[in-house]
């Protein structure tokens, strides 16, 4: 039996959710991600009306405003996106247990043999789209093919709010006329390198000798060669248990301001601790991630020998790693991240007195209660207060990019 896979992608997800709550936004150029002029934020999502002016995700807000002066800019409501994402995944799970979430607004479904339940797989796709429209109020685009890579490209071709089926055996022909930038995994630098080789379409890429791509790009070149021909044997994989929880942020301005960076580190540590406690998890490895102004990125980690979810311990250990890492480079910092790994690790007595451990737990519980009721930024520790209210909660203030990225590794992360 020929394998069949669906890729389902919600259309302009953040914007679409905002339009459900405010129908007056429909039909207008809208961008979610922040307000221009309030730091170095970027567009997280743009409506199709805004895209007609060249506005797209990842674009600096100031450039988006320049291209589309009438665009409506929104900071975003991440609780709404989280709720919509959960409903989306629940709908898909009703159609197939073989579900692989990819982020918060797209997923793969293994649907081989499911035509017996729906007549045809395309009819199944139409039912999925109808359920999403009826229950969430937004559009979805679906690609149906024999391989994940082809299904993903097909779903993009189906946008907005459509379905494209690529018959078995027609994968290479479907991909051939498309520009190389349409293939997932080909970024700006790879695209530029391929253009230098005279390669502009996926058909041209597929016809290039495999050895040429391997010599130029290594193992990745072999993957490119297969994907350009529609060959992708990766299975649809159901989510595994999370291996780590982390938060990171890109700063508005590259900086070596030690006080500011340590305050940011504290904020990220508290976000991570709160996430751990919310899911009843503890971890035994603390890690940090730093990206410098030249885009050099480093990670550092330390095993504790015990499991923790305490803000203070996460921060103190992250601070030690951060201090050593910063001393090894004189460049300003662009991105900073904090995380806890080895979740569910061995729980032993904390290297603290019982009173000390109990004190940390009591403070963290109190913070969690207040923040759950009034928002994370409603109460701040002394060091974090230097960042200003609203840091990372969908707003831009005092050095944050306007959005803290949530990395819940090992399974699909909830959006913020």
Residue 380 sits in the same domain as residue 342? yes
Residue 127 structural domain: 1-148
pLDDT at residue 9, as a whole number: 97
**Model pTM score:** 0.65
pLDDT at residue 391, as a whole number: 39
- Total domains, the chain: 3
Beta carbons of 343 and 282 less than 8 angstroms apart: yes
Residue 198 sits in the same domain as residue 125? no
Residue 167 falls within a domain, yes or no? no
Residue 238 falls within a domain, yes or no? no
Residue 193 sits in the same domain as residue 47? no
Residue 377 sits in the same domain as residue 253? yes
Block means of pLDDT (10 residues each) for the chain, length 416 residues? 94 96 97 82 92 93 95 91 94 94 94 92 97 96 97 96 96 97 88 92 95 89 94 89 82 88 92 88 93 86 91 94 89 92 61 52 73 60 54 33 45 33
Residue 293 falls within a domain, yes or no? yes
Residue 166 falls within a domain, yes or no? no
Residue 249 sits in the same domain as residue 213? no
Contacts of 84 (CB under 8 A, 6+ apart): 10, 13, 17, 20, 136, 138
pLDDT at residue 279, as a whole number: 82
Residue 302 sits in the same domain as residue 195? no
Residue 248 sits in the same domain as residue 363? yes
Residue ending a domain, among 159, 194, 228, is 228
pLDDT at residue 156, as a whole number: 96
Residue 375 sits in the same domain as residue 252? yes
Q: Strands, DSSP E only, in 98-243?
A: 99-102, 106-110, 140-145, 163-165
Length of the chain: 416
Q: In what order do the strands lie in the sheet with 244-255?
A: 297-308, 283-292, 333-343, 244-255, 405-409
Residue 65 falls within a domain, yes or no? yes
Task: Return the CATH number at 7.
Answer: 3.30.70.270
Tokens of 383: 């060091």
Residue 318 falls within a domain, yes or no? yes
pLDDT at residue 74, as a whole number: 94
Residue 216 sits in the same domain as residue 257? no
Which residues are known to be catalytic?
106
Residue 261 sits in the same domain as residue 392? yes
71-108 in b/e burial notation, b at 16+ Cβ within 10 A?
bbbbbbebeebbebbeebbebbeebbebbbbeebbbbb
Is there a cis peptide before residue 160, judged by omega within 30 degrees of 0? Answer: yes
CA gap 308, 245 in Å, rounded? 12
pLDDT at residue 58, as a whole number: 85
pLDDT at residue 377, as a whole number: 56
pLDDT at residue 393, as a whole number: 36
Residue ending a domain, among 228, 259, 275, is 228
Contacts of 194 (CB under 8 A, 6+ apart): 180, 186, 200, 205
CA gap 211, 218 in Å, rounded? 9
Residue 275 sits in the same domain as residue 359? yes
Residue 335 sits in the same domain as residue 385? yes
Element (H, E) at 338: strand 333-343
> What does the CA dihedral 189, 194, 196, 198 come to, rounded to 10 degrees?
-160
């Amino acid at each position: 039996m020929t394998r069949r896979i669906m890729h389902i992608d919600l259309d302009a997800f953040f914007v679409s959710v905002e339009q459900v709550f405010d129908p007056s936004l429909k039909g207008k150029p809208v961008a979610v991600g922040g307000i221009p002029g309030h730091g170095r934020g970027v567009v997280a999502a743009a409506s199709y009306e805004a895209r007609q002016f060249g506005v797209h995700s990842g674009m600096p807000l100031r450039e988006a405003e320049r291209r589309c002066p009438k665009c409506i800019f929104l900071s975003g409501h991440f609780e709404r996106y989280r709720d919509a994402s959960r409903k989306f995944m629940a709908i898909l799970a009703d159609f197939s247990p073989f579900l692989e979430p990819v982020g918060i607004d797209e997923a793969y479904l293994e649907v081989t043999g499911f035509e017996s339940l729906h007549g045809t797989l395309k009819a199944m796709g139409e039912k999925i789209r109808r359920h999403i429209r009826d229950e969430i109020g937004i559009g979805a685009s679906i690609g149906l093919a024999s391989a994940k890579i082809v299904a993903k490209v097909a779903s993009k071709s189906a946008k907005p709010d459509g379905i494209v089926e690529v018959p078995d055996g027609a994968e290479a022909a479907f991909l051939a006329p498309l520009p190389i930038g349409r293939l997932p995994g080909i970024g700006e630098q790879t695209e530029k390198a391929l253009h230098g080789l005279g390669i502009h379409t996926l058909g041209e890429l597929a016809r290039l000798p495999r050895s040429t791509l391997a010599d130029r790009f290594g193992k990745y070149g072999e993957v490119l060669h297969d994907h350009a021909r529609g060959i992708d044997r990766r299975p649809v994989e159901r989510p595994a248990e999370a291996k780590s929880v982390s938060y990171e942020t890109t700063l508005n301005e590259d900086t070596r301001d030690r006080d500011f960076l340590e305050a940011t580190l504290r904020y990220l540590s508290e976000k991570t601790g709160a996430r751990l406690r919310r899911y009843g998890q503890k971890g035994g490895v603390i890690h940090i991630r730093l990206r410098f102004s030249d885009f050099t990125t480093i990670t550092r980690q330390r095993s504790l020998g015990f499991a923790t979810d305490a803000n203070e311990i996460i921060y103190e250990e992250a601070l030690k790693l951060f201090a050593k890492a910063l001393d090894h480079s004189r460049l300003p910092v662009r991105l900073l991240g904090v995380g806890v790994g080895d979740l569910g690790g061995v729980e032993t007595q904390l290297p603290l007195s019982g009173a000390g451990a109990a004190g940390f737990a009591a403070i963290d519980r109190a913070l969690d209660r207040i923040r759950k009721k009034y928002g994370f930024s409603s109460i701040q520790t002394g060091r974090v207060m230097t960042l200003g209210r609203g840091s990372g909660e969908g707003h831009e203030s005092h050095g944050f990019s306007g959005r803290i990225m949530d990395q819940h590794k090992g399974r699909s992360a909830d959006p913020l």
